[in-house]
Amino acid sequence: MLEIERLIDTNKKLIRQLREGGLDALDKVLNTTRKTAATYRYSYDRYLQYFRDKPAGEDLTEQDLYVGFGFAYSWMATIKQLDPRIKIIDSAVDALNEVRSIHPADLGPGKIKTGTISNDEVLRIQRTIEPIRQFLGSVTGSSKLLHFVNPEIFPIWDVTIHGYCDQNHLKNSSDSLQRYVRHTFNVHSLINDASFNEIIYHPLTKALNQAHETVRDQYRIPDPMSKVRSAEFLMFFGGRLERIQQTPTFGSKKAWKQGQKMRATP
């Protein structure tokens, strides 16, 4: 389980990058260009808005499932083959409506704060998500769709975030639904920590806003990050920063191969 102290330390590094070099410094760590970074920052707001605009009493449909599939994989390096069997689609649509209706209170905030989440509670969320994972074909893709549908509950997950949270992880274990569900509970444990708002969330959102203010004549300022999104963004930044620090001497064959992998953003 990722401890709050590690997230606080990463937050300080990210804010320092923003203060010293603005968005250019942040993009360099994330190994992206301004156009690519802007694509993620601004499509994110629109994807969330698509599902927010759906009336609360109106069920999501198969159409929304396919639109969500497109959203999720526009944030992926490659697109996987979805499973178009009718039974699987129907189950995935039902699951999409179920995860949309989950509220923070449904996760058991008291248990999250005390770290007493049981295996049964993890399994309950895992079973709810499974039809979506089966339809999309990956846990990473599913996490993006889950986040777009219910951003207050589900964080985005990929191999970079997995590596940041568990530095001894197995290479392919990021595509584990159980690991993602446990990560979801861990994120809520972090954002419910007494120090999160004052030490992490408010300083980070302030620094990001100030960095965007310097380029507002060219780029729109994104909507404020939610707490779940800010925690996940810190983990992605921390994972990228650690990759940079671990990269071998420039010019070596290994360095070139690692550079190629880093360009393929998950």
Summarize pLDDT for 118-129 with one digit per residue, the tens.
999 999 999 999
Instruction: Give 31-55 pLDDT, tens digit per residue.
Output: 888 778 878 888 999 999 999 999 9
Whether the Cβ atoms of residue 137 and residue 73 lie closer than 8 Å to each other: no
pLDDT band at residue 62, thresholds of 50, 70 and 90?
A: very high
pLDDT band at residue 265, thresholds of 50, 70 and 90?
A: very low
How many whole angstroms separate alpha carbon 61 and alpha carbon 49? 16
Task: Give the Cα-Cα-Cα angle 240, 36, 216 (nearest 5 degrees).
Answer: 105
Whether the Cβ atoms of residue 227 and residue 196 lie closer than 8 Å to each other: yes
Instruction: Give 212-255 pLDDT, tens digit per residue.
Output: 999 889 888 889 999 999 999 999 999 999 988 876 644 444 54
pLDDT of residue 167: 67
pLDDT of residue 137: 86
How many whole angstroms separate alpha carbon 199 and alpha carbon 230? 12
pLDDT of residue 250: 46
Whether the Cβ atoms of residue 134 and residue 175 lie closer than 8 Å to each other: no
| pLDDT higher than 70, residue 140 | yes
Which residue do the tokens 């979506």 mark?
132
Beta strands, E only, the chain? none
Element (H, E) at 240: helix 227-246
Q: What is the dihedral of CA 196, 202, 207, 212, to 10 degrees?
A: 120
pLDDT of residue 111: 85
